[in-house]
């Protein structure tokens, strides 16, 4: 879904959206000090990531992934544009303040920097000692994380006696032991076999679900795509695509179940899913009002809504209740007629929405789709 940028369109009063953990706006970056060597490597990037999201970033070598990651991790100074991380505006912070932000971030970068004279366990314990005093808790947590990454048998080994992949996993254990609020990882599974790579992503997923940790992972490893909530593609210093993967899959599954969209090709459904946005309505909130002009198509993500005719009059009548996976609002977009009913959330409800221009271009992609819709709507009269 391309909702990465701030949306200037007015929202209904009931609309709410979670605060992002990470916000990038108009970000440009250059390398080189002199006019001859100065080269722009990031161009006008925008990105928003919500709490608990796992974002996978891909793109060709030299496209700017590591540069972007190091700016997000407060390892480089923002030159132009804005970056907000965990509520802190990095573009306004300097020195010690940036160090403070880094404390809440778990870095998994390629150079592991393990202490050669310390065992795997001691390396992980050191990271924990920065935030925790209880020695038993420190020990137990270090063993737990190392075991989750398949190193339970090797906790007393020093780095020299571990393989490259095992060292990489100790470094990952050290970065994740403190349950950082944000995890920035650059090719964390590149040196790992399938099983070890899976253990790493399982741990990231567990931290996301249990602790609300947000992860941004640069990777070319398509074996771990299934863990991603969002996939961001970079090319030539720009974010070229930004897709909410799990959401797109869910939308396609819902649309496939509906009579209106069932026969559409997967690629048309994916095009629709990619431009849908989400909005929440509280219990009792009016989603659409009978008589208003149609401006959006809705698909219910969670919760229930009532379809009410003549609301507020003596003839008020609930004619249907719609649930997760069901859709509404397409009729007036297709016919241009006003909304023919009022829709009210029975309980807090979350919707996927498609605005009119995107709806029209989605159906324009498919002539059979338009014909089919016209037929269905005609039969409904
Ligand atoms: N320290 C530096 N000084 C000058 N130019 C740099 C520096 N680091 C990176 N670059 C250049 O900036 C561009 C983006 O590099 P970056 O390392 O961000 O790409 P990347 O997408 O991470 O690539 P890879 O997949 O190979 O790791 C490249 O053209 C690279 O040559
Ligand atoms: Mg890189």
Ligand 1 centroid – CA 170 distance (Å) = 26
Q: Is residue 351 part of a domain?
A: yes
* Final residue belonging to a domain, choices 194, 223, 245: 245
Q: Which ligand is nearest to the CA of 235?
A: 1
Q: Which is more confidently placed, 282 or 209?
A: 282
If asked whether residues 231 and 96 sit together in one domain, one would say: yes
Ligand 1 centroid – CA 109 distance (Å) = 14
Beta bridge partners of 107: 184
> Would you state the pLDDT for residue 13?
29
Q: Is residue 268 part of a domain?
A: no
**Considering only CA atoms, which residue is closest to atom 8 of ligand 1?**
67
If asked whether residues 160 and 218 sit together in one domain, one would say: yes
- Whether residue 149 contacts residue 171, with contact meaning beta carbons closer than 8 Å, is answered with no
Task: For residues 193-213, give the mean pLDDT.
Answer: 88
Number of domains in the chain: 2
Nearest atom in ligand 1 to 37's CA: 4
Task: For residues 15-26, give the mean pLDDT.
Answer: 74
Task: For residues 44-66, give the mean pLDDT.
Answer: 93
- Whether residue 148 contacts residue 210, with contact meaning beta carbons closer than 8 Å, is answered with no
In the Cβ-directed half-sphere of 345, how many Cα atoms lie within 13 Å? 23
If asked whether residues 324 and 237 sit together in one domain, one would say: no
If asked whether residues 296 and 220 sit together in one domain, one would say: no
Best of 27, 43, 63, 237 for a ligand 1 pocket test (most atoms within 8 Å of beta carbon): 63
Nearest atom in ligand 1 to 64's CA: 18
Ligand 1 centroid – CA 187 distance (Å) = 14
pLDDT digits (tens, 9 = 90+) for 219-239: 988 888 888 888 999 999 999
Q: Is residue 231 part of a domain?
A: yes
Confidence of residue 38 (pLDDT cuts 50, 70, 90): very high
Indicate if the pLDDT at residue 276 is higher than 60. yes
pLDDT digits (tens, 9 = 90+) for 174-185: 999 998 999 999
Nearest atom in ligand 1 to 63's CA: 21
Q: Which domain holds residue 206?
A: 20-245
Indicate if the pLDDT at residue 14 is higher than 60. no
Ligand 2 centroid – CA 110 distance (Å) = 9
Find the CATH number of the domain harbouring 321. 2.60.120.10
- Whether residue 4 contacts residue 48, with contact meaning beta carbons closer than 8 Å, is answered with yes
Ligand 1 centroid – CA 57 distance (Å) = 15
> Would you state the pLDDT for residue 8?
37
- Whether residue 301 contacts residue 273, with contact meaning beta carbons closer than 8 Å, is answered with no
Closest among 175, 181, 168, 177 to 215, alpha carbons compared: 181
- Whether residue 124 contacts residue 142, with contact meaning beta carbons closer than 8 Å, is answered with yes
Nearest atom in ligand 1 to 237's CA: 14
Ligand 1 centroid – CA 67 distance (Å) = 6
Q: Is residue 253 part of a domain?
A: no
Q: Which ligand is nearest to the CA of 186?
A: 2
Q: Which ligand is nearest to the CA of 65?
A: 1
Q: Is residue 307 part of a domain?
A: yes
State how far the Cα of 255 lies from the Cα of 326, in Å rounded to an integer.
8
Nearest atom in ligand 1 to 59's CA: 21
Mean pLDDT of the chain: 87
Q: Which ligand is nearest to the CA of 59?
A: 1
* Final residue belonging to a domain, choices 194, 226, 245: 245
If asked whether residues 162 and 291 sit together in one domain, one would say: no
If asked whether residues 241 and 281 sit together in one domain, one would say: no
Ligand 2 centroid – CA 112 distance (Å) = 15
* Torsion angle of the four alpha carbons 119, 177, 90, 26, in this order, in degrees rounded to the nearest 10: 110
Q: Is residue 15 part of a domain?
A: no
* Final residue belonging to a domain, choices 229, 245, 261: 245
Percent of the chain residues topping a pLDDT of 70: 90
Q: Is residue 2 part of a domain?
A: no
Indicate if the pLDDT at residue 336 is higher than 50. yes
Q: Which is more confidently placed, 138 or 372?
A: 138
If asked whether residues 352 and 205 sit together in one domain, one would say: no
Find the CATH number of the domain harbouring 44. 3.40.50.300
Instruction: Ligand 1: list residues with CB < 6 Å.
Output: 31, 41, 59, 61-67
The tokens 């090709």 sit on which residue? 265
Q: Is residue 24 part of a domain?
A: yes
Task: For residues 144-153, give the mean pLDDT.
Answer: 94
If asked whether residues 204 and 313 sit together in one domain, one would say: no
Ligand 2 centroid – CA 48 distance (Å) = 21
State how far the Cα of 367 lies from the Cα of 370, in Å rounded to an integer.
5
Indicate if the pLDDT at residue 309 is higher than 60. yes
Range with top average pLDDT, 74-83, 196-205, 361-370: 74-83
Of 118-122, 265-269, 275-279, 306-310, which gets the smallest average pLDDT? 265-269
Confidence of residue 19 (pLDDT cuts 50, 70, 90): low
Confidence of residue 284 (pLDDT cuts 50, 70, 90): very high
Of 21-30, 106-115, 169-178, 332-341, which gets the smallest average pLDDT? 106-115
> Would you state the pLDDT for residue 111?
66
If asked whether residues 290 and 233 sit together in one domain, one would say: no
If asked whether residues 84 and 160 sit together in one domain, one would say: yes
Q: Which ligand is nearest to the CA of 62?
A: 1
If asked whether residues 104 and 52 sit together in one domain, one would say: yes
If asked whether residues 91 and 229 sit together in one domain, one would say: yes
Confidence of residue 366 (pLDDT cuts 50, 70, 90): low
């Amino acid at each position: 879904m391309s909702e990465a940028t701030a949306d200037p369109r007015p929202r209904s009063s009931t609309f709410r959206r979670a605060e992002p953990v990470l916000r990038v706006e108009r970000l440009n970056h250059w390398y080189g000090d002199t006019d001859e060597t100065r080269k722009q490597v990031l161009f006008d990037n925008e990105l928003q990531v919500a709490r608990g999201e796992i974002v996978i970033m891909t793109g060709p070598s030299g496209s700017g992934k590591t540069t972007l990651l190091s700016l997000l991790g407060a390892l480089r100074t923002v030159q132009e544009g804005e970056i907000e991380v965990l509520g802190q505006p990095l573009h306004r912070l300097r020195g010690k303040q940036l160090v403070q932000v880094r404390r809440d971030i778990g870095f998994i970068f390629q150079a592991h920097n393990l202490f050669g004279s310390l065992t795997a366990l001691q390396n992980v314990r050191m990271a924990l000692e920065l935030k925790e005093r209880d020695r038993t808790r420190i020990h137990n947590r270090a063993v737990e994380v190392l075991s989750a990454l398949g190193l339970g048998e090797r906790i007393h080994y020093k780095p020299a006696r571990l393989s490259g992949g095992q060292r990489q996993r100790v470094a990952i254990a050290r970065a994740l032991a403190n349950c950082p609020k944000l995890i920035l990882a650059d090719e964390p599974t590149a040196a790992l076999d399938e099983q070890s790579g899976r253990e790493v992503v399982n741990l990231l997923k567990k931290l996301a679900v249990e602790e609300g940790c947000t992860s941004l992972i640069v990777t070319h490893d398509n074996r771990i795509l299934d863990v991603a909530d969002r996939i961001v593609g970079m090319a030539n210093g720009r974010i070229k695509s930004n897709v909410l993967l799990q959401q797109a899959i869910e939308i396609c599954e819902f649309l496939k179940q509906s009579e209106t969209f069932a026969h559409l090709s997967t690629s048309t459904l994916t095009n629709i899913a990619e431009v849908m946005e989400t909005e929440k309505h509280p219990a009792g909130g009016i989603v659409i009002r009978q008589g208003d002009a149609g401006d959006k198509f809705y698909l219910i993500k969670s919760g229930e809504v009532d379809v009410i005719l003549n609301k507020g009059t003596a003839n008020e009548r609930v004619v249907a209740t719609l649930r997760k996976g069901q859709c509404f609002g397409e009729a007036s977009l297709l016919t241009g007629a006003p909304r023919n009913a009022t829709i009210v959330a029975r309980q807090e409800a979350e919707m996927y929405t498609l605005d009119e221009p995107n709806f029209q271009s989605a159906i324009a992609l498919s002539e059979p789709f338009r014909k089919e819709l016209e037929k269905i709507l005609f039969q409904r009269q």
